[in-house]
Amino acid sequence: MPYLFTSESVSEGHPDKVADQISDALIDNFLAFDPASKVACETLVTTGQVVLAGEIKTDTYLDVQKITRDVIRKIGYTKSEYMFEANSCGIFSALHDQSADINQGVDRKVENADFETLANAQGAGDQGMMFGYATNETDNFMPLPLDLAHAILREMSQIRNNELDLMPYLRPDAKSQVTIEYSDDDQPIRIDTIVVSTQHDDFADDDTMLAKIKNDIINIVIPRVKAAQKAELHGLFTDNITYYINPTGKFVIGGPHGDTGLTGRKIIVDTYGGKGAHGGGAFSGKDPSKVDRSAAYATRHIAKNLVAAGLCDQVLVQVSYAIGVAKPCGLYVNTYGTAKVDMHDGAIAEKVGQIFDMRPYAIEQRLKLRNPIYSETAAYGHMGRKNEIVKKTFGSNGQSKEVEVELFTWEKLDFVDQIKQAFGL
């Protein structure tokens, strides 16, 4: 029987995402000047205030206020009427040293050691389980409802930042939601419902406002999103889509003034929109020694390469750890009955464990995670993004540094040939 599945996304101006972006900007700056930094940074944003809290072990010193204000300014909170503005908001820092009890399980100094010694010496930064997922229903191996929800808000952000005359009333805070009907064999049939709530400037007349925003979303934003999809998905965009555009009506008060934002409260938006599973650990604000982040990227890397290799149509990969221990407690694979090889999922998992080294140090090295690559992950999802090499400039407290980094390394399809060979595909 056909079924409906829904995923949501939030814009870079959503208060929780503001917090995520500040936390990850701090991570990037610490790693840029000291790649060995250990950081767990939480951010809270509310009316006119930012609170930074967390644990740091680093050899560098940063102007965290400047970094925070730069992030807020880039997002677009630059007007006093937003009641949260880059130049005037208060910033309180409660960052302090990392616990030596935690650090002793992660930072085991081994002089002049080879890879194997280092990989066995660095334990996981915490216990827990992490999941990666991939499906062949989109070109980027992401679930379609989430992919479209992200695309709607990215298009609105593009308009707000670069095409000011097109929808000049847009403010930074926004949410989207897409419901898709699937067939019995898990194929998308049609888009059932699209929900968009966007913060906006005040209008003289509320009815005019609602009509204008709804018309622009349906006739400007959605056609652009449709045009960006592969041709076989265009048929999902029918005239029978149910739209809820700003369904509560007026949405002038938004951002951190409308709702308090916290790091790590959008973990489903950050991953797979509710498909697959989630271990519960947030990503933003954590350096890669925290397996909540690094192992979630590593399991996505595995899942995407398995599907791209043709091993299965969709797959969920789980890994788990004990704090301070390098070797994972377990590796689990679920192909949802879509495997193209005559093997049980347990046997597939065993072979996957032979292909991919899941010790934390090995993950850091394989995916180049000790580089300042995290600001780009903090809005519009950590998965399904474009792998590319970019130059980034960091400057704080009189320091300046330009680095070339590779973004979203976990999205590379660099293990496809090895998987095909291992499984005889």
- Residues that constitute the known binding site for K(+): 42
Q: Which helix (H) or strand (E) holds 395?
A: strand 388-396
CA geometry: angle at 414 spanning 25 and 419, to 5°? 130
Burial of residue 264 (CB within 10 Å: 0-12, 13-18, 19+) is: buried
User: Residue ranges for the binding site for ATP?
Assistant: 14, 173-175, 250-251, 259, 265-266, 282, 286
CA distance 216 to 414: 41
Q: Is the dihedral of CA 100, 101, 102, 104 positive or negative?
A: positive
User: Residue ranges for the binding site?
Assistant: 14, 16, 42, 55, 98, 173-175, 250-251, 259, 265-266, 282, 286, 290
User: Residue ranges for the binding site for Mg(2+)?
Assistant: 16
CA 102 to chain centre: 26
C-alpha distances in angstroms, 24 versus 17, 18, 21, 329? Answer: 10, 10, 5, 28
Q: Could you tell me the two tokens for 282?
A: 């947030």
DSSP 3-state of 83: coil
Residues in contact with 373: Cβ distance below 8 Å, sequence separation at least 6, in sequence order: 28, 405, 406, 407, 408, 409
User: Residue ranges for the binding site for L-methionine?
Assistant: 55, 98, 259, 290
Q: Do residues 145 and 7 lie in contact, with contact meaning Cβ atoms separated by under 8 Å?
A: yes
Q: Which helix (H) or strand (E) holds 180?
A: strand 170-182
Alpha helices in 217-344 (DSSP H): 222-227, 255-258, 267-270, 291-308
